[in-house]
Each structure stands twice: as structure tokens, then as C-alpha cells.
Structure 1
Amino acid sequence: MLPTLSGRIQTRVLALGVIGFCVAVVITPVLPTGSLSFGQAYRVTLSVLLATVLVGVGWELLYHGLQQFRWEKDWPTLFGLVTIVNEALLIWLLVRYTTVVLPERLRPSGTAFLIQFIVTWIVFWLIVNGPMRVVFHRWRFQGGRFL
């Protein structure tokens, strides 16, 4: 069964929220955050995660429109991994050059951002394409919807 648009959005919000939060909790203490305090470092990583989840809903709408031109109306699994490039670039631009996500004094370094984004994305992608399909076996047959 192919994931529906609402299923992909639900999966992205729920799984990235849960998995991303767990990854952020684990990796934030080891990120190169410079002079930021422990609390500020967590604020940065969780703000980047929240921005990724919210902007991701817009990405899903765009991806859905692009998928309508494909015969199968779906992406190959590898495309789901490769989308890290365009999504990371957009989030980086929002984080680095606007105050929409974070104030100027809390902007992360490029290294910290890349480590967080890449680790979170790979863990998310591996879990959604592996163990999640086993644990939530009905999820696949409901178009990726949880509700």
C-alpha cells in the first residue's frame, strides 16, 4: 500500500517528533555549541527540530504534487533519504539568515547543525523504513496513517 498524503504527514510529524526528540536529547550534550549553556543548546536543537517538522509538512505537499507526475505515484525509497539535501538547505537558511526559528545570539554553528540534522535524518529514515514497519504492521495498510 502506498502512503497517502495524510499518512505521510502523520508519519513525518509523529515519527520525526518522537525519534527526533530522542536523538536531540542524546546528541545535544556532545554537539560543538561553543559558548552556549546547556539549556541554550537544547533550545537550539529542539527549535531546529520543530522547524524541521513544521516545514516538513510543506515539503510533503510539494512532494505529493511532484509524485503525481510519476507512474507509481510514489518515490523510490532512496529518494526519501536523498531529500535530506534540500530539506537541510532550507532549514539552514531559515536558521542562519532569519530570526523565524532562533534569535541571532542562539544561531548554531554549521558543524553543530549538520551533525544534528544528518544524525536525526538517518536515524529517522532507518527506523521508518525498518523497525516501524514491523512494530506498526497495520500502518502500511492504512496508507501510513496513525489516526
Structure 2
Amino acid sequence: MLPTLNGRIQLRILVTAVIGGLWTAIIAPLLPVGGASTALAYRSAFVVLGVLILLGIGWELIYHLLMQFRWEKDWPTFFGLLTGINEGVVLWLVMRFALPGFLPPPAAFAVQFVTTWILVWLVLNGPLRAIFLRQRFRGGRFV
């Protein structure tokens, strides 16, 4: 069974919040924020993570619509990795124009986004599938 829209949204929120949150807590003080305080680095990093989660719900709706045009109604795994490019660009634009006070410097944003995206993608396509074997029979849902 393919993951349902509800299952993909749940997975995205859960894994990005847990794995991305832990990774952000580790990497935030190490980000190149140009001499800003550690508290400001954490604030900016977690705002970026929160906006990433919120935009991710919208992206899942768009991806679901696009997948309806594919024969097997699913993406190849590599496409899932490449979607990070357009999601990163849109996230940067949203942060730049909607929340400019929370936007970290470009280098810090790039390091946080790319490393978080790759880590979340690896967890979703690796250990999570091995640990939760029966999850695919529930359409990818946890709840």
C-alpha cells in the first residue's frame, strides 16, 4: 500500500519535528550567524524549522495533486530528495519576505536547511522503514 495523503502529512510533521528538532538543537549554536548571540541563533533556527513544517503540509497537498498524474501514484525515492531544492527556495523566500526578522544569514540558513533536509530524508527512507515494518499497511499513518 502506498502512503496516503494523511499518512505522508503525519510522517512529515512527526519526523521533521522530532529528528529536525533534535538536529536543530545540536547545530544551532554552530551555525555561522555572524556574531549573534546563541539565543538569537536558536530562535532563528527553530523559526526556520517551524515554517518548514508548516510549509511542508502545503507541499504535501501539491505533491499529492501532482502524483495523480503518475501511473503508480508515487514518486521515485530520488525525487523525494530533489524536492528539497524547490522547498528550500520557497522557504527562503517566505522567510525573507514574510518573516525577515527571523531570517538567519544565507550561509546559516543553507547549512541548517540542507543538513536537516538530508537527515530527515535519510531517516524516512532508512531506519523508519526498517523499524516500523507494518506502517505501510496503514497507509503510512502513525495515528
TM-score, with length taken from structure 1: 0.94
Aligned residue number for residue 49 of structure 1:
49
Count, aligned residues: 143
Q: Which runs of 5 or more structure 1 residues have no equivalent in the other structure?
A: none
- Measure how far apart 1:52 and its partner are: 0.4
Percent of aligned pairs sharing the same letter = 52
Aligned residue number for residue 118 of structure 2:
122
Aligned residue number for residue 109 of structure 1:
105
Distance 1:56 1:48 in 2: 12
Distance 1:98 1:132 in 2: 34
Distance 2:90 2:13 in 1: 18
Aligned residue number for residue 29 of structure 1:
29
Residue type at the aligned position of 2:64: H
Task: Answer yes or no: is 1:39 the counterpart of 2:39.
Answer: yes
Trace 1:39-78 onto structure 2 (pairs within 5 A).
39-78=39-78
Distance 2:8 2:103 in 1: 30
Residue type at the aligned position of 1:123: L
Aligned residue number for residue 91 of structure 2:
91
Task: Answer yes or no: is 1:20 the counterpart of 2:20.
Answer: yes
Q: Helix, strand or coil for the counterpart of 1:70?
A: coil
Contact conserved, 2:81 with 2:121, CA < 8 A, in 1? yes
Q: Which runs of 5 or more structure 2 residues have no equivalent in the other structure?
A: none
Aligned residue number for residue 137 of structure 2:
141
Distance 1:79 1:110 in 2: 25
For the aligned residues, what is the CA RMSD? 1.0
Q: Which of structure 1's runs of 4+ aligned residues deviate more than 2 A?
A: none
Distance 1:35 1:125 in 2: 31
Residue type at the aligned position of 2:131: V
TM-score, with length taken from structure 2: 0.96
- Measure how far apart 1:46 and its partner are: 0.5
